[in-house]
Chain A
Amino acid sequence: MNGMFGQFRGTLFAALLALIFTIAAPSILEFFTIITLTQVIGLSILALSLALIWGYGGILCFGQTAFFGLGAYSYAIAAVNIGGSTGAMFIAVAVAAAFAAVLGYFAFYGKISDVYLAVITLTVSLIMYSLIRRTSGPEYKIGDALLGGFNGTGAPPLNVPGNAGAVLFPEHTFYVAMVALILLYVFCGWLVNTHFGRVCVSIRENEIRAELLGYDTRAYKLGIFTVGAAVAAIGGIFFCIGVTRVTPDVFSLGQASLTIIWVIVGGRGTLAGPVLAAFGLYYLTASLGTQQVVNTSLVLGIILIAFVLLAPRGVVPGIEKLATARRAGRRNRAKERRMRLRKPRGGISEDRHETG
């Protein structure tokens, strides 16, 4: 379609930049920064998942963390039991996607309104938060894995597929996480430009119209919701691998609202924006955390309010808009110049018209 390949080319370009960063990172960043990056990448994949389902699918899911946390816990538990990371990753994604499919089925086919869906998903995340917090004690275990209550449970590191003994070095784990982020970003960029993706966007714009064109909007919403949950689960996996633990905080209200802030700040309707916002705000809060002058939550709150009031479309769409406005301005000026040049000719043709 017109213009769409242009958009996808932009996605590929951004992916290329990210790839260059990945290759260069070990030589420009400190080792410690590389280690922490893996968890931030996990968070940014969570941001990507909400960018997809809220920004493109129009589904306001306040509790995207439910799938993020479910992915993290499922990975940790499965990896301990299997004794390897590869199969555990697939299990974690499948668990989160299946859970989202069931939850989404009742929500979308039950025609629950957008606001209720937001509340329900958040509630689900918070229920998981308080349930998992109560699992301290040796009796709460799945197979060999202790759930660990509010202390959480250890998340095994990545290993070479098929060889559980060959654990990856932190910088290699960073590579894997970064490649996963890039692939998921390209995948989402591709998805929103497919027929399926365009229908999801049209449902965001006007659900009744999409329905009257003959699209079963419930099925499309369920589809993108489930895909989003799977992406969030992958985020959860890398997050817990980066932290080496998973605690109930992955389900917390703080994490859920932070996810929404990323998307609002980065901009709805873009994929790169929320991902960059996740990175940016992580390092902002990290640097604020080292000082005692201002409260971190207060700063985050101010940023959110500032964005809602001053740049309601978010950073990336704002920049895009500025860029297109400037381009349009240039085009108009060029047009004016051409018009001025053509004027004499216009006069001649008028003369002809009169005589003819």
Chain B
Amino acid sequence: MRRGEVVLETRSLSMHFGGVRAVDRVDFQLWENELRCLIGPNGAGKSTFFKCLTGQLVPTIGDVVIRDIHVAGREPHEVAGLGVGIKTQVPNVFDGLTTRENIWLSCRRWHGARRTDALTSETIERLQLGEFRSRQVGSLSHGQRQWVELGMVVAAQPWLVLLDEPAAGMTHEETDRTAELIREINEDAAMIVVEHDMNFIRRISKKVTLFHEGRILMEGTMDAISKDRRARDVYLGHRA
């Protein structure tokens, strides 16, 4: 891992819903070219943390800095406009449009018409979405729709990628391909990936951040975390 500079940092980031502290004073750093996994039991605050990073939520306290730009309180399109690719936990696609149009719209945000056409075809091929090219995304299976969404993220060629549970609801084979794709994306982009599947995480990530009750409980390799007692209590114990 090349330790260039910090590309994303949160400072004392907090998000409160009434009395619930979904994210509580989180100091987090992501380095250039890093692939970080976020884990934690249900309700640990991972998705809320993500939404604060992407502008979908305005943090109660604290700041988010992406490449020296303060983004807390900015609109999602402004964050995305920095070159950040985002996949939410709930699949977010354009159901009434075709696979091709979904990916085209993502490309076209950044490129002219001709380059977009080429990039769109390239992305469809790369993600093996060819047979669904002209199908309405709403008629595809859950796993396929997730892939279309990943295709939209990839097509924009972002330098920072945030994926919330990209492999959720996928078959074994689809999960394998997703892990492969994530490693490919990571060649050009720093990434944060929220996941529950331990084997999946072992395959893609070196460093893992464990969330618990809105805070970072610990950071380290997956092996180190799975050996840790506290981590087992809050997380691995839960899953077993």
Contact = CB atoms under 8 A, between A and B. Distances in A.
A195 B77 contact: no
A208 B95 CA distance: 13
A213 to B, nearest CB: 5
B154 interface: no
Given A3-B98, A206-B93, A211 B105 contact: no
Interface string B127-168: 000000110000000000000000010001000000000000
Interface string A187-221: 00000000100110110111011111111110000
A209 B134 contact: no
B76 A2 contact: no
Nearest to A203: B94
Contact of B101 (A1, A208, A212): A1
B88 A212 contact: yes
A211 B108 contact: no
List the 8 closest pairs (A to B, CB-CB), nearest first: A214-B80, A205-B94, A209-B92, A211-B76, A214-B81, A212-B86, A214-B109, A216-B77
B60 interface: no
B105 A208 contact: no
B97 interface: yes
- Give the contact-size bracket for chain A: 20 to 34
Contacts of A212: 54, 76-77, 80, 86, 88, 92
Given A198-B101, A212-B54, A213-B156, A206 B77 contact: no
Interface in B81-105: 81, 86, 88, 92-98, 100-101, 104-105
B94 A209 contact: yes
19 contacts: A1-B100, A1-B117, A2-B98, A195-B108, A202-B97, A202-B105, A205-B97, A206-B92, A206-B95, A208-B56, A209-B93, A209-B152, A211-B76, A211-B77, A212-B86, A212-B92, A213-B77, A213-B109, A214-B80
What is the predominant secondary structure among interface residues of chain A facing chain B? Answer: helix
Given A195-B108, A213-B80, 4 more contacts: A2-B133, A214-B81, A215-B109, A216-B77
A208 B109 contact: no
Nearest to B158: A214
Nearest to A208: B92
A51 to B, nearest CB: 16
